[in-house]
Structure 1
Amino acid sequence: MWSSLQKKEARAYALSLRKNKDKHLLENYLVEEIIKSDVLAKYNHIGIYYPIGDEMSVLRLLSYYPGKSFYLPITKDNLSFIEYKLNDELYDGPFHTKEPKGHIIDRDLIECFIIPCVAISKDNKRLGYGKGYYDKYLAGYKGLKIGVSYKEALLDIEMESFDLSLDLVFVGWSYGKCSSSYGWKRNKNGIWKK
């Protein structure tokens, strides 16, 4: 259900909804939906994230796609990405994150990003935790931007022009291509459509 909210209210609302979720079950569905969609098949360099708090993890994708290169963010003053392989050691980063060590890769060498979202607006914009790291890092990025969140976090939120627009959304149980019109509905197959 869509409801009209300011960003601060939407963030608090969406985060509160996560508390009562079976995160592990939903992240299994999320990863299965990403794999079934075959959206990652043509990409060899994929930016992902290390889950914090109640975010759903997509790290299992590394096992499913062993021939692809995956990159995790590191957070200093700005966001950067470093290649991560299964079983690489991770170190404590800010905001309770885990970060790899290594060489920072040029953003435009990464063909696709899977991005955690606190909520997603009706005009396909990502609501994060409020620091703007992804908004700044991916400003002007031409590759595929995939948002992931819980389906209840698809909300009518007043967003701003600098907020990150998404190309595709996965919400644990289903996914749909983003468009700029209102009215997402989940069909009988569990896919979000207009």
Structure 2
Amino acid sequence: MDKGTFRKQQIAKLAAFAKSGEKKKEDAVLTRKALRLPQLREANDIGVTYSMASEVDTSNLIAQLWEAGKGVWLAKSNPDKSMDFVRYEPSTVLQKSKFGVMEVADRSAAVKNDLDLLIVPGLAFSASDHKRLGFGGGYYDRFLAKYRPQTISLVNSVMLYPEAVWGAEAFDYPVDCLLTVKAADQERDR
């Protein structure tokens, strides 16, 4: 199946799942698992996206990272289709981007792209090779081509597929660690 067709189907599937009580349960499990990860405990500067309703909720994870004294850096898209990670603190004002994603409003906020760990969002992930399907802008693939932080993804049951049935391509960067709800978590060799 081509990426565009699969992406539309997956967005609809995730939107329906977001309305279920099961999503909140799975999000809580994934947050707990993430907080126990050695990669996260050892990292000082962590990149993350402020999640949309259909994505795994990152709000509690972000709050726990702040409580642990971690540097939290929020994704911000640029007009040239690049992406930066901007300092995000409890008092930071956010605004909705043209993609509907909440981003740091202050254009002069500190930027840090040499992160210790990056929590990579996605619509779908393959268990076999850790490829991900994003929203189609290529922002994360371009970022990961330039910077090589350790990567993890929080993957609920509706996002995990045995294989990349959406036609993954060579420039699609795999994620190092997939945190899943029911299956054993999977790490790949870098």
TM-score by length of 1: 0.80
Question: What is residue 114 of structure 1 aligned with on the other side?
Answer: 119
Structure 2 unaligned regions, length at least 5? none
Distance 1:179 1:44, change over 3 A: closer
Question: What is residue 103 of structure 1 aligned with on the other side?
Answer: 109
Which structure 2 residues correspond to residues 37-186 of structure 1 after superposition, within 5 A?
Answer: 37-65=37-65, 66=67, 67-77=69-79, 78-100=82-104, 101=106, 102-108=108-114, 110-121=115-126, 122-155=128-161, 156-157=163-164, 158-173=167-182, 176-179=185-188
Cα shift at 1:12 = 2.8
After TM superposition, which residue ranges in structure 1, 4 or more long, deviate above 6 angstroms?
A: none
Cα shift at 1:104 = 4.5
Deviations 1:173-193, CA, capped at 9 Å, x for gaps: 55623338xxxxxxxxxxxxx
Deviations 1:26-83, CA, capped at 9 Å, x for gaps: 2111111111334311001000111124111222123323211101111122211101
Q: Determine if contact 1:62/1:85 at 8 Å carries over to the other structure.
A: no
Identity of aligned residues (%): 25
Distance of 2:183 and 2:36 partners within structure 1? 10
Q: Determine if contact 1:168/1:175 at 8 Å carries over to the other structure.
A: no
SS at match of 1:60: helix
Structure 1 unaligned regions, length at least 5? 181-194
Distance 1:178 1:33, change over 3 A: same
Distance of 1:163 and 1:44 partners within structure 2? 26
Q: Are 1:8 and 2:1 matched, yes or no?
A: no
